[in-house]
């Protein structure tokens, strides 16, 4: 429990740095992010965090990186999160609710180890298993498959895209 308290105390004391991400010198920002991650890893070394800055509010997302064995750890940590002005604190990547940008092809590409993909340029085909009717599978077709087919990180890149689209818990 001490590690949870330490993490949230550090975050509360330094949250303004993370709200002002673009205005802080990169070297100072890296030091602060490293300290925040260090405090998180004192609680659980396998968890990660993502900070998203929006116009009037910032988001801190605690993620288990899709590992269902760590979901309870994430939920416990977020349960004890303090209320911090201008911050939304969330457990896990949430499912995307506004699909308009994908339908219109105006989504931003996500780059992962040199692989640049856009969800709007992917096609998803559901797969059924007659032996296991409750299982769900998908086949993902990529626009630039030939360009990336030999990259050993392609599968991970696709998984990250799908996880961001349907949410971390659903993906797991």
* pLDDT at residue 71 in the model: 95
For 38-76, b/e burial (b = at least 16 CB within 10 A) is ebbeebbeebebeeeeeeeebebbbbbebeeebbebbee
* pLDDT at residue 170 in the model: 85
Q: Are 49 and 40 in contact (CB under 8 A)?
A: yes
The SS3 of residue 142 is strand
* pLDDT at residue 133 in the model: 86
Please tell me the pTM assigned to this model. Answer: 0.78
Q: Could you tell me the two tokens for 116?
A: 């640049």
CA angle (52 as vertex; 47, 54 as ends), nearest 5: 160
The SS3 of residue 93 is coil
> Which residue stretches of the chain have pLDDT < 50?
none
Q: Which of 167, 171, 161 is nearest to 120 (CA)?
A: 161
* pLDDT at residue 137 in the model: 86
* pLDDT at residue 172 in the model: 79
* pLDDT at residue 143 in the model: 84
Give CA–CA dist 153/166, Å, rounded. Answer: 20
* pLDDT at residue 13 in the model: 92
* pLDDT at residue 115 in the model: 87
């Amino acid at each position: 429990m001490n590690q949870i308290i330490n993490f949230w105390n550090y975050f509360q004391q330094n949250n303004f740095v993370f709200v002002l991400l673009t205005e802080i010198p990169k070297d100072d920002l890296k030091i602060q992010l490293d300290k925040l991650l260090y405090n998180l890893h004192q609680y659980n070394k396998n968890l990660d965090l993502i900070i998203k800055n929006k116009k009037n509010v910032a988001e801190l997302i605690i993620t288990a990186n899709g590992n269902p064995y760590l979901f309870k750890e994430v939920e416990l940590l977020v349960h004890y999160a303090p209320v911090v002005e201008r911050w939304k604190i969330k457990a896990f990547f949430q499912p995307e609710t506004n699909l308009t940008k994908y339908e219109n092809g105006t989504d931003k590409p996500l780059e992962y180890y040199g692989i640049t993909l856009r969800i709007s340029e992917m096609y998803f085909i559901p797969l059924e298993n007659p032996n296991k009717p409750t299982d769900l599978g998908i086949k993902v077709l990529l626009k630039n498959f030939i360009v990336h087919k030999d990259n050993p990180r392609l599968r991970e890149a696709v998984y990250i895209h799908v996880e961001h689209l349907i949410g971390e818990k659903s993906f797991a």
